[in-house]
Amino acid sequence: MVICKKISKVYNGGFHALKDINIEIEPGEFVSIVGQSGTGKTTLIKLIIAEERPSHGSITIGDWDITDIEQYEIPVLRRQIGVVFQDFKLLPRKTVFENVAFALEVAGERQDKINTIVPQVLKIVGLDHRMDHFPTQLSGGEQQRVVVARALVHRPKLIVADEPTGNLDSINTRDTIDLLRKINDLGTTVLLVTHNREVVNALKKRVITLEHGTVISDQKKGRYLL
Amino acid sequence: MKLIVSLWRILKFALQNISRNLWLAFTTLTIITLSLFSLSSLYMLNTLTNEAIQAVKSKVDISLYFKPEVSREQILKIEQDLTAFEKVKDVTYVSKEESLEKLRDRFKGDVSIIESLSELESNPLGDTLMVTAKDTGDYPDILDYIDSQKKYAGLIQYRNYEDSAHVIERITDLARKIKKAALFISIIFVVIVMSVLMNSLRVAIYSHREEMGIMRLVGATNWFIRGPFWVESILYVLISSILTALILFPIMTSLDPQVALLFGSYHFRLSEFYSAHVISLWLKLFIGTSVLSVIATSMAMRRYLRV
């Protein structure tokens, strides 16, 4: 599903965020990428969603080599990946329904299909009764569930979650992770970036550990090492 | 089909942006309306200045006073000649009887002159041709033409142009200077107004900067993100230009009496001119400002779309 071959990312001033990373993620896998702050976890996510480009190496998503992806192809790539952000990134002037629907609207989906799918997905994340509310009227946990619904609504083969529990309390953290696990059980590949030890240990899934921009461990049923 | 759906969504998002940001929409609308009102007022002021110059110029003419013995037929032949000359706008024939009548009328309070005129057995005045040029700068050429016509020699007793030549020269010079100054002031004013307008749109875009980044991350293309903002800015300009056109109607009408006093017998009414030109003025304002606002919006958005 995701193949990173010898990728490095060097920022201005010669700072190496990632050095010679080799990662291969199979379709349907649930992979946690862990590591302390500044080890390159978020940089790796940015490379996968083409927010940044690698300095060296290649990245393939599905059968698509996105290493030198053209600017006009980026929206097409992002419509195939669901992204969950730590800071939610919801559109503040759109309702819950409109935020989730937006991911379909950008892809030109028909309105009747949107009107059918969006309430179903909101029901899955338990927010069908909050469809007409604005993000500011929701709690942090509810906002994160809207983000998961938005990431899910266009049925992507890959969901990338960058510290999705970073701004949540323990109950909401558990709910969000349970949701990601359910999505994974339905066949979607999940790439979870976190430094939450409890979450990683409870998952008992594959864990890739990064340190100083390099992979120091890759365990099939791993635990939080650091 | 997808294109129509996308265009419909762009329009829907634009209307949502306005309706869910009423305060910002009101502020932006006010600034754009004031800017367009200022530009329209400047245009009307320029028109008023040009008309005022035209009114003064219309008072200037060359009067050719013919000797009393010159026949009416000879004068009418000259009138035809002069009318055919390319730089002549109009030639008016005033008979010696009319001239005498005008003289009597002019000096009706002066008993001695009226009595002297009554003493005369015949009309001492000759017929007159009043020649108006297409442009005040053409008068010397018309005079040269008259002088060059040998058939006119000995027929003209007196012409008044030399008396008013100095005045014409000053009016022409003043008109040129006023036009230059008006152009200079207009350019500065337009630049100021346009920067105010562009900055108000930039502020509106700035308040949406985070949303644009989010839209990019969710997979929106740049034109799908830009579209609603373009439509929004065009809607602002559309509403503002209509408001400006409507506001100017009563203002122009209320200024009519003062303008009529200023122009006297020269017929010019601001409200009439405005009514006749309101559509073209509105179109110019709307199209020009819309193009400018789309450019300003695109420039302001560029940096927020690099996600």
pLDDT band, residue A226 (cuts 50/70/90)? low
Q: How far is CA B120 from CA A39, B65, B100, B105, B124, in A?
A: 118, 19, 12, 17, 8
Cβ contact A75–B220 (<8 Å):
yes
Decide: A105 and B32 in contact? Cβ < 8 Å.
no
Q: Residue A84 pairs with which residues in a beta bridge?
A: A161
Q: Where are the domains of chain B?
A: 2-57+171-305, 68-154
* CA–CA separation, A37 and A43 (whole Å): 11
Cβ contact A93–B21 (<8 Å):
yes
Chain B environment of A51 (Cβ under 8 Å): 217, 307
Residue B120 or residue A210, greater confidence: A210
* A153 → chain B, closest CA residue: B218
Pick the CATH number of B68-154 from 3.40.1010.10, 3.30.70.3040, 3.30.2010.10, 3.40.710.10: 3.30.70.3040
**Structural domains present in chain A:** 1-80+156-226 (3.40.50.300), 91-155 (no CATH)
pLDDT tens digits, B139-159:
888 888 888 887 777 888 887
What's the DSSP call for residue A157?
A: S
* CA–CA separation, A24 and A159 (whole Å): 15
Amino acid B176: pLDDT: 80
pLDDT tens digits, B208-231:
888 898 998 889 998 899 999 999
- How far off is chain A from B208, nearest CA to CA, in Å? 10
Amino acid A188: pLDDT: 93
Cβ contact B224–A106 (<8 Å):
yes
- Angle (CA) B223-B224-B228 rounded to 5° is 100
* A87 → chain B, closest CA residue: B214
Q: How far is CA B260 from CA A175, B40, B43, B56, in A?
A: 79, 21, 19, 14
Give the residue from A48, A61, A89, A146 with the most B CB atoms within 10 Å of its CB, the best one to mutate.
Answer: A89
pLDDT tens digits, B224-257:
999 999 999 999 999 999 999 999 999 999 998 8
Q: What is the ipTM of this complex?
A: 0.84
pLDDT band, residue B162 (cuts 50/70/90)? low
Amino acid B164: pLDDT: 67
The model's pTM is: 0.73
* B22 → chain A, closest CA residue: A93
Tell me whether B80 touches chain A (CB under 8 Å): no
Q: What is the DSSP string of A69-109?
A: --GGGHHHHHTTEEEEETT----TTS-HHHHHHHHHHTTT-
* B221 → chain A, closest CA residue: A75
